[in-house]
């Protein structure tokens, strides 16, 4: 994976997506379709965006019993997306089943989509881990443990925050993909995210890819905001 900047298309429908993408006519993008858009528009939104020439991370974060995840992944593999994901909290059997489903569902001659596991959401804080999830461990240790489970299950990488990337690169190896949401420009609101960093910090810490939503999509000039984030991510400007 070529260290992409992935734009989260958290829009309510296809019209909003088209309006947003109209600002990027010359640009081949890597975009993320999440639950909000996919549950509204269904699989046709994927073929629509593919026809425009963009790469797609389908962020549905599957988390269910192994057989259900396997059959769901068989279906998703047919959609011609580049990246899909599960929650690592589903465990090794579930993650292994996800890969089996992807392999079975990928059309002959095509490469299966990369599959990554969410370790701990970037909206989760150390306090939440202890007080709400009742996990009596350091958040870093939880992320590392889930990342190891994902690796052992044959997944290609994880979703984590930038704060854990150096540790994962050191302990698991930097060919294991680290996709990091929770990205904010210096003066932007964190909104509901807690483990945040700027694009240039993500670059320095060694993220494979960053996911950026509102710091681009909610700006008055999304194209300018995108260029600004991209420069920072490429280490050209802080």
Ligand X SMILES: O=c1ccn([C@@H]2O[C@H](COP(=O)(O)O)[C@@H](O)[C@H]2O)c(=O)[nH]1
Catalytic residues: 59, 61, 64
**Site membership for ligand X, residue 82 (CB under 6 A):** no
Q: Least separation, in Å, of the C-beta of 160 and ligand X?
A: 8
**Cβ proximity to ligand X, 12 vs 110, nearer residue:** 12
3-state secondary structure of 32: strand
Give 183's DSSP letter. Answer: B
121 is in an annotated binding site: no
Site string for ligand X, 91-130 (x = CB under 6 A): ---------------------------x--xx--------
CA distances from 159 to 80, 83, 211 (A): 21, 11, 10
Cα–Cα separations (whole angstroms), residue 72 to 42, 84, 85, 157, 222 = 14, 11, 11, 19, 34
- Tell which one of 10, 82, 164, 200 touches ligand X (CB under 6 A): 10
Verify binding: residue 178, ligand X, rule CB under 6 A: no
- For 197, phi then psi, to 5°, come to -160, 165
Q: Nearest to residue 177, comparing CAs of 208, 210, 150, 203?
A: 208
Which of 106, 114, 178, 193 forms a contact with ligand X (CB under 6 A)?
193
Cα separation of 51 and 195, whole Å? 34
Rounded to a whole number of angstroms, the minimum distance from the CB of residue 193 to ligand X is 5
Is 64 annotated to bind ligand?
A: yes
* Residue 230 exposed, middle or buried by CB count within 10 Å (0-12, 13-18, 19+): middle
Please choose, out of 64-72, 135-143, 177-185, 226-234, the segment that lies near ligand X by the rule CB under 6 A: 177-185
CA 194 to chain CA mean position, Å: 16
Single out the residue of 211, 222, 232, 233 in contact with ligand X (rule: CB under 6 A).
211
Query: Which residues fall in the annotated binding site?
Result: 10, 32, 59-68, 122, 184, 193, 213-214
Query: Which residues fall in the annotated binding site for substrate?
Result: 10, 32, 59-68, 122, 184, 193, 213-214
């Amino acid at each position: 994976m070529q260290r992409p900047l992935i734009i989260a298309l958290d829009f309510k429908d296809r019209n909003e997506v088209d309006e947003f993408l109209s600002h990027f006519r010359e640009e081949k993008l890597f975009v993320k379709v999440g639950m909000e858009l996919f549950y509204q528009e269904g699989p046709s939104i994927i073929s629509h965006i593919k026809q425009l020439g963009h790469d797609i991370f389908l962020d549905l974060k599957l988390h269910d019993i192994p057989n259900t995840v396997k059959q769901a992944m068989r279906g998703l593999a047919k959609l011609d997306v580049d990246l899909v994901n599960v929650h690592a909290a589903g465990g090794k059997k579930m993650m292994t089943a996800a890969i089996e489903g992807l392999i079975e569902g990928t059309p002959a001659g095509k490469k299966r989509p990369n599959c990554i596991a969410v370790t701990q959401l970037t909206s989760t804080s150390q306090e939440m881990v202890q007080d709400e999830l009742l996990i009596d461990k350091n958040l870093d240790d939880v992320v590392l443990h889930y990342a190891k489970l994902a690796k052992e299950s044959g997944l290609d990488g994880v979703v984590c925050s930038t704060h854990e990337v150096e540790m994962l690169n050191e302990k698991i190896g930097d060919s294991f993909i680290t996709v990091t949401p929770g990205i904010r420009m210096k003066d932007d609101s964190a909104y509901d995210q807690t483990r945040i960093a700027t694009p240039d910090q993500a670059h320095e810490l060694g993220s494979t890819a960053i996911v950026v939503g509102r710091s681009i999509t909610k700006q008055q000039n999304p194209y300018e905001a995108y260029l600004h984030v991209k420069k920072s991510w490429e280490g050209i400007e802080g």
